[in-house]
Amino acid sequence: MAPLQTIVDIRNQAERLYRQQINWRRWLHQHPELSNQEFKTTAFIKRTLGKQGLKFQSIGKMKTGAVAIINSGKNYAVAVRSDIDALPIYETTNVPFKSLNEGMMHACGHDIHAAILMGTAIILHKNRNNLPGCVKFLFQPAEEMPPGGAQALIKEGVLRNPSVNMIFGLHTDPNIDVGKIGLRDGPMMASVTDFDITVIGKGGHAARPNLAVDAIVTASEIVESLQKIVSREIDPLKPVVMTFGTIRGGTARNIIAAETLLRGTARTLHPDNLKFIAPLIKRTVDGICRARGAKYKIDFVAQYPVLVNHKAANGLYKQVFGGLFGADSIVEASQTMGGEDFAFYLQKVRGAFCRLGIRNNKIGANKPWHTPDFMVDERSIFYGTVLLTSAILKYFEGKIE
């Protein structure tokens, strides 16, 4: 077998591809699509990579998303993932490639992720004869919508045939300067328990509450009582955050609501807490509704695990990026109560999810995720491509007999 390309060679190849990746990113940014509706996005990715000779693995009945693959005949594989969906946000930036789809925007950097992964796929495809194993490139739909697209891809067998031994991922971070990455071993992002509670009471006249069962009052009591789970029933050294983002019920000020919907989410960085959250929610809702004469329905929409990075995979990131751009290019990523369905992959195989710096105050690339003025420094595409490509090559070097 010929020797693998050096990391410096990969850096040079990424430099040459960078301008083309910007064009891909801008097309994706202009044509954002919501979760499980990424039809044009998927077609664009498959068309672009197909022209470069890449093949695609079947993902069964999934209507969007794609898995490109090289060296499929090898007996082991490494995988790398990008999400591809956008958000229901009206873009307010003034970039010339502003979203053309009203009310939709890549306000989380998934267009950047996709352009990086496309470039990574092309570079590794050109060097495929020097790779001892298979590489799978997961263009995952529906990261933004519970239950997420990761579980669906796993169910369709993307981690098998050949078996994936390690998986890499990244995410833009407006808190980190462009040219730097953030790494953290162990738990980095919280588990997510998303739930809907429907309180079913009995409607009536506002002046005769004794003849009704007030769904709004009962729902309000549920909101208050569930906060006591956080403060009184969970180990304070293993905190949980519980938030209700929606409460919807009633039709008029003088009508007692017969039904009220609560939509909430619970987050924790401690895997042990997961087994307590859902049963405590059920117990609390059941007790309050029984006391008030109401009925209820609970739908646990999704439950993502804690995202736990593996030290060995993070070590590959650190080795290649620090070697190219210096020790100062790596910072410690903070823990966050934000959730990521990349955590499902990490439950199955070793891997790491890193933060990619996109911050550049001069161009306004410093706004939070999920905001209408979110921007990135596109130079991050180059750094992300070098990072993923080099980490995969470094992994394969260790697998050579």
Strand partners, 140: 83
Query: What pLDDT score was predicted for residue 48?
Result: 98
The CA distance from 206 to 14, in Å, is 67
Query: What pLDDT score was predicted for residue 400?
Result: 44
Say how far residue 395 (Cα) sits from the centre of its chain: 23
Provide the total of helices (H) and of strands (E) in the chain, helices listed first: 9, 16
**Residues ≥6 apart with Cβ < 8 Å to 14:** 119, 123, 382, 385, 386, 389
Residue 107 has pLDDT above 50, yes or no: yes
In terms of residue numbers, what domain contains 332? Answer: 7-188+306-399
The CA distance from 226 to 240, in Å, is 11
Residues in the chain: 401
Q: Which of 228-237, 239-248, 392-401 has the lowest mean pLDDT?
A: 392-401
- Residue 275 burial (10 A CB sphere; 0-12, 13-18, 19+): exposed
Residues 145 and 24 in one domain: yes
Task: For tokens 């429907």, name the residue.
Answer: 198
The confidence band for 5, taking pLDDT boundaries of 50, 70 and 90, is low
**What's the order of all strands across the beta sheet hosting 77-83?**
55-56, 66-70, 134-140, 77-83, 164-177, 350-359, 181-183, 330-332
Q: Which of 217, 211, 210 is nearest to 257 (CA)?
A: 217
The residue type of 92 is T
Residue 122 lies in a domain: yes
Query: What pLDDT score was predicted for residue 332?
Result: 97
Residue 1 has pLDDT above 70, yes or no: no
Residue 1 lies in a domain: no
Residues 262 and 181 in one domain: no
Residue 39 lies in a domain: yes
Total domains, the chain: 2
Last residue of a domain, one of 304, 320, 354: 304
- Answer yes or no: are the C-beta atoms of 179 and 383 closer than 8 Å: yes
Task: Give the domain CATH number at 266.
Answer: 3.30.70.360
Say how far residue 233 (Cα) sits from the centre of its chain: 29
CB atoms inside a 10 Å sphere around CB 328: 9
Last residue of a domain, one of 259, 275, 304: 304
The confidence band for 8, taking pLDDT boundaries of 50, 70 and 90, is confident
Residue 2 lies in a domain: no
Residues 292 and 313 in one domain: no
Residues 168 and 91 in one domain: yes
Task: Give the domain CATH number at 359.
Answer: 3.40.630.10
Residues 70 and 152 in one domain: yes
- Answer yes or no: are the C-beta atoms of 225 and 284 closer than 8 Å: yes
Percentage, residues of the chain above pLDDT 90: 94
